[in-house]
Structure 1
């Protein structure tokens, strides 16, 4: 029996290690933990309860963070369907001064979950607009810039982010304008203003 528990912990640890220590109740079940065993580990402090059916190994909370651990939590909350986007994606890419008070996530149109801690945007994202990170997914810098322009976010924040993206060679003016045109007139106007501020 001890061997079974050791195997279950090792299996769950492997899953959680790629998700900054976070794991879902379903992942724990797949690793061999019954709901009764999950309740036991949560009640005895072996696992930190993050949200309903969402846990984190205590050991990971003691490690120095990289600043984006909470994004893994929201990716798991969405059952892997959400992509970090808009101003939150700009912060992930370290472009400009974006520091949104709530997490921006793009989810499929039929997504039903809600939380006051997040702002949900509904869209079907092409794979070319998404990057994988350790434990979550995020829109590319180009997509994040035009999303913010389309949402008519703070123009000063957008101006700074566009300037940094151009300076670092992450995007070109041409690609940025083209992506904005595809996103719509509001995105196009915001990007044109930001490019004008760079000139």
Structure 2
């Protein structure tokens, strides 16, 4: 039985609305849009082509953009496997002075895709170190700070992120130190320095 067109659109809209208007070709196919129908909607401007097999409903283009809408696109690009991390995660959490020029994503070790716009880090991240946002995932404030310290970003960035996290109750000294110990010597050194700067 063929689905009614309005039902098909409503099903896709429901998926996309939780992803800031973005959706994948696979998601569209799953609700009933053939690849031929997808080409039609992209060609006629109903859907904006964002990347290979990633679209966005045109209506979302005219809505006020969320500061982190673009991160949904990269989550879908990674086939929902990436976690926003490092200084990009600090920026999402509004911690310190981090303002990365490229997007940092942590992906599983076997991940093979590449793109010039992103810096990929390979690691397994446990669920308790991840926060789910509207259409993407991001490392927790504690994990993001420790990742940044381990990556040896500017110490000022780590210092300011630690100060903000402590002031806002998003982290404790103990959790930061313990997490840094698990991450290794570089992380420990960066976190230790930052904690000495905050009294």
Normalization by structure 1: what TM-score? 0.98
Question: Partners of 2:178 and 2:34 in 1: how far apart?
Answer: 51
Aligned partner of residue 104 in structure 1, secondary structure: strand
Q: Could you tell me which residue of structure 2 aligns to residue 152 of structure 1?
A: 152
Shift of 1:97: 1.2
Query: Is 1:36 matched up with 2:33?
Result: no
Shift of 1:54: 0.2
Q: Could you tell me which residue of structure 2 aligns to residue 181 of structure 1?
A: 181
Aligned partner of residue 174 in structure 2, secondary structure: helix
How large is the Cα RMSD of the aligned pairs? 1.2
Task: List per-residue Cα deviations over 1:158-191 (Å, max 9, x = no partner).
Answer: 1001001011111111110010011000000000
Question: Partners of 1:6 and 1:195 in 2: how far apart?
Answer: 56
Q: Could you tell me which residue of structure 1 aligns to residue 124 of structure 2?
A: 124
Aligned partner of residue 4 in structure 2, secondary structure: helix
Aligned partner of residue 49 in structure 2, secondary structure: strand
Matches within 5 A, 1:91-130: 91-130=91-130
Aligned length: 199
Q: Could you tell me which residue of structure 2 aligns to residue 9 of structure 1?
A: 9
Aligned partner of residue 111 in structure 2, secondary structure: coil
CA contact (8 A) 2:48 2:55 kept: yes
Question: Partners of 2:23 and 2:174 in 1: how far apart?
Answer: 41
Matches within 5 A, 1:51-70: 51-70=51-70
Q: Could you tell me which residue of structure 1 aligns to residue 170 of structure 2?
A: 170
| Structure 2: gaps (5+ residues) | none
Task: List per-residue Cα deviations over 1:95-120 (Å, max 9, x = no partner).
Answer: 00111011100000000100000000
| Structure 1: gaps (5+ residues) | none
Question: Partners of 1:63 and 1:97 in 2: how far apart?
Answer: 28
Q: Could you tell me which residue of structure 2 aligns to residue 84 of structure 1?
A: 84
Question: Partners of 1:158 and 1:5 in 2: how far apart?
Answer: 51
Question: Partners of 1:45 and 1:2 in 2: how far apart?
Answer: 24
